[in-house]
Structure 1
Amino acid sequence: MSEDRYQQRQQQLKERVEERVAAATKTGGIIIVFTGNGKGKSTAAFGTVARAVGHGLKVGVIQFIKGTWENGERNLLEKNGVEFHVMATGFTWNTQDKGDDIKAAEEAWLEGLRMLADASFDLVVLDELTYMIPCGYLALDEILTALKNRPPHQSVIITGRACHRDITELADTVSELRPVKHAFENGIQAQKGIDW
């Protein structure tokens, strides 16, 4: 490609980008969903949390379907003002007690409701929330109502596989991670600092 042709193409690209930037006039909080069967949904959410904290924003995290094991993100971010509430029951195939799981989910969700109603939070992460709906632990309607009624500037990140269609329709940004290859499938254990 000639230098002239390259410059023309880049100029056209620049103009298209500038038009889109100029057309984006809305402000306010957004809902982001990281879903799919691939690894990295919570990792993507916590990357955004680190960015928000770096800009001085107030962040709250509710973690569903997480255990009592050490959590690298929490170790770092709680020291930097991020409020965490962890369901702390572990995976449902470990607990095998639906009543206790529902109770733990409801307790975690109460903290989520508090954060979603609190205008001092700029970002709320509902990590692994998607599992709560098909398991029957939390009511979809209550989740949707809380998301719709949150403070206008507040952003929310929801993670987990098989996100309910009503949540993805409400969301402003949805990214689906798909598996290509995973170390665990080759017998490699989850590693501290990499996977948790």
Structure 2
Amino acid sequence: MLSPEQNERYQARMKRKKAIVDERIAKATEERGVLILLKGNGKGKSSSALGTMARSVGHGQKCGVIQFIKGRDATGEYLFFKDHPMIDWHVMGHGFTWETQDHNEDTQAAEKAWAIAEDMLNNPEYGLVVFDEMSYPLKYKNLMVEPVVEALQARPEMQNVIITGRTMPEELMEIADTISDVKDERHAFRLGVKAQKGIEF
């Protein structure tokens, strides 16, 4: 417990903080969709994106998900969301590049995924679209970044987009509204713990 003097100082500090927060809220008057990049080598980027999607669906917004790399449909998130009437979910990948080891095959898969992504970006019915692990085909030149940037900038005004992946092209960083860098401080895999249902997939 704080002493009366300590509590008084605490209240004064929180009052100043509230004034700063209220001022920032008052200045945020623009209403439009945002582009969010979730990058970094830490765990939780896709989980964060899908958590945001659950929030959007809770508000009655139609959502789309395209998984550019993941190639299996037995993940917990897919099994949970796949039959939801407000979600269109597409598993388009063949696995990570070090597993396929075929640039042409990866490019074909990425182009098929991007064709669906473009349709979503042109459709104002989608309140949120998630392009999971899209950074990989951009990094390895399976997709060119210029048409992606163009489509993102031309999307419906209120549509939100989340892109996940370890690294992001500078061109996407320049047009993003929010960028979060998820850092890896420790991971159970390096301690010898294998991937498990409900945590990694």
TM-score strictly above 0.5:
yes
User: Match for residue 136 of structure 1?
Assistant: 141
After superposition, the C-alpha distances for 1:141-172 in whole angstroms (9 at most, x for unaligned) are 01100100000000000000111111112110
Name the SS of the counterpart of 1:33 in structure 2: strand
Q: How many residues align?
A: 196
Matched, 1:113 2:118: yes
Identify if the C-alpha distance between structure 1 residues 162 and 88 changes in structure 2 by more than 3 Å, giving closer, same or farther.
closer
Distance, in Å, in 2 between the alignment partners of 1:45 and 1:194 is 15
Q: Is the 8 A contact 1:41 1:177 kept in 2?
A: yes
Q: Is the 8 A contact 2:73 2:91 kept in 1?
A: no
Q: Provide the aligned C-alpha RMSD in A.
A: 1.1
Deviation, structure 1 residue 90: 1.0
Distance, in Å, in 1 between the alignment partners of 2:97 and 2:17 is 49
Q: Is the 8 A contact 1:53 1:80 kept in 2?
A: no
User: Match for residue 178 of structure 1?
Assistant: 183
Residue type of the partner of 1:13?
K
Q: Is the 8 A contact 1:50 1:77 kept in 2?
A: no
Matched, 1:37 2:44: no
Deviation, structure 1 residue 83: 0.5
Deviation, structure 1 residue 93: 1.4
Distance, in Å, in 2 between the alignment partners of 1:5 and 1:100 is 63
Deviation, structure 1 residue 100: 1.2
Matched, 1:188 2:185: no
Distance, in Å, in 2 between the alignment partners of 1:175 and 1:88 is 24
TM-score (norm 2): 0.94
Name the SS of the counterpart of 1:79 in structure 2: coil
Superposition pairs for residues 5-16 of structure 1, below 5 Å?
A: 5-16=9-20
Matched, 1:159 2:154: no
Q: Is the 8 A contact 1:144 1:167 kept in 2?
A: yes
Deviation, structure 1 residue 2: 2.3
Distance, in Å, in 1 between the alignment partners of 2:24 and 2:72 is 45
Distance, in Å, in 1 between the alignment partners of 2:127 and 2:66 is 14
Q: Is the 8 A contact 1:122 1:154 kept in 2?
A: yes
Residue type of the partner of 1:157?
I
Deviation, structure 1 residue 101: 1.1
Structure 2 unaligned regions, length at least 5:
none
Q: Is the 8 A contact 1:33 1:174 kept in 2?
A: yes
Distance, in Å, in 1 between the alignment partners of 2:77 and 2:14 is 40
Structure 1 unaligned regions, length at least 5:
none
Distance, in Å, in 2 between the alignment partners of 1:159 and 1:175 is 10
Q: Is the 8 A contact 2:73 2:79 kept in 1?
A: no
Q: Percent identity?
A: 46
TM-score (norm 1): 0.96
Give the counterpart of 1:52 among 47, 50, 56: 56
